[in-house]
Amino acid sequence: MAVVNRGNVVLQPTYFTSSVYIKALREDITTLVHNFHEQYKEDSTKPFALFKSLWNAQGWKWMHFKVFDSRARDTFLSVTFRLFLERMVKTEAPFTRTVALFALYTFFNTQPTGSAPTLRGLSHIPIPIDHYTTLIGLPGMLSSAYLAPLQPYVSYVVSALVNAQAFYLLPSSELGAQNPRDLPREIFVEEGLIDSNQPQGKGHQSKRDKVIKARTALDAVGRWLAQTPSDTGTGPTLSQYKAQKAQLLKEMGGETDGLEEASEGVVQRLREAQEEQGGDVEGWAGLARVHAASSTAGRLLGLLEQ
C-alpha cells in the first residue's frame, strides 16, 4: 500500500486582507498601546526596554513564525506593516503613534534570516508620502514633560529606518495607491467570505456603498458643526443636529462597530492629551462627560444632546 503524506494546511492570502485578520490585529495593536501606556505611567525611565518586555510577554515575538508559505507571507507582512502604519497618522495621539512606531521597527528588524527553509521577508515597507512626512515629524511632537522620555528613542528609531531605506514611498494617501485600496477587502459573514466591494445580490448594497453613504452623512454632520451664527443668521438648532444624526445612523444600517471604535479612540486620545499636559485625568470633568457620552446609544453623537 502506498504511503500518502498528510498535506500541510496553508492560509490563503485573502485571509490576511479579510475582516477576520484585520479586526483581530487591530484589536491586538490597541491592546499593546493600552498596556504600554499603563506601564509607562508607572515607570518612564527606559521606555524602549519596557516596550520590548511587553512585546515579548504578549507573544508578538512569535508572529513571524505563524506563516511559512511564501505567497501568503507576502500578504501577511505587507498588511501587518500597514496596520502598524495606520496608527501613526497625524489624527492619532503622539503616544499611540510612538508605540506603533516601536512595533513597526521591532517587527521589521526581527524578520528571520538564515533559517532553513528560508522565510520570505519584506525589505521595503510601502507608505504614502504624506504619512511618511508625518512619521518623520514625530520626534518634534514629543516635547511635553510627559512625552519627553520617549523623544530620544523615537528619534533613533526614525533615523535607523530612514538610513536603512526601509520605506517605499507611494503617492499621497488620498489617491488610494495602496493595494488593496481599503482594508478589510473581504468581509466575513456566517456563510463565509464575501468581497466587500461587490453587491451581494439584486437590490442589496455592497459594504463599500454603505461606507460611502455613512461617510457622506458624517460629512454633513461635520459641516453642520462647523457652522457659525454668522453663516446662518441664527446658527444650527438641536433639532437639525438630531436630524443629521438620525440620517447618519440610518445610513450605517445598524453597523456601528466602526463608530464605537472611533468613540473609544476619542476617549483614549483625550486621556493621553490630558496626561501629556500634566493634568488630573480622573478629575477632568470634560473627559468624564465624553466617556459617559461614548457609552450611550449613538456613542459620541449623543454628546451635544447632554
* 130 inside domain: yes
Q: Tens digits of per-residue pLDDT, 169-205?
A: 999 999 999 999 999 999 987 666 566 655 555 555 6
Same domain, 89 and 104: yes
**One domain, residues 141 and 273:** no
Q: What is the radius of gyration, based on Cα positions, of the chain?
A: 22
Quote the domain boundaries for residue 296.
256-300
| 92-125 confidence digits (pLDDT tens) | 999 999 999 999 999 999 999 876 678 899 999 9
- Residue 91 to residue 85: CA distance in whole angstroms: 12
Cβ-contact 158, 135 below 8 angstroms: yes
Residues 229 and 249 in one domain: yes
pLDDT at 298: 47
pLDDT at 188: 86
**Residues 87, 91, 96, 97, CA torsion sign:** positive
pLDDT of 3 > 70? The answer is no
* Distance set, CA 174 to CA 117, 136, 171, 178 (Å): 40, 19, 8, 10
Output 58-65 pairs: Cβ under 8 A, ≥24 positions apart.
58/28, 58/31, 58/32, 60/32, 60/103, 60/106, 60/107, 61/110, 63/107, 64/107, 64/110, 64/111, 64/112, 64/119, 65/112
Same domain, 90 and 239: no
Domain count for the chain, please give it.
3
Same domain? For 57 and 128 the reply is yes
22 and 105 inside one domain:
yes
One domain for residues 153 and 229:
no
φ/ψ (deg, to 5) at 95: -65, -45
Which secondary structure element, helix H or strand E, spans residue 304, and what is its range? none
pLDDT band at 206 (very low <50, low <70, confident <90, very high): low
Best CA proximity match to 127, nearest among 96, 100, 154, 151: 100
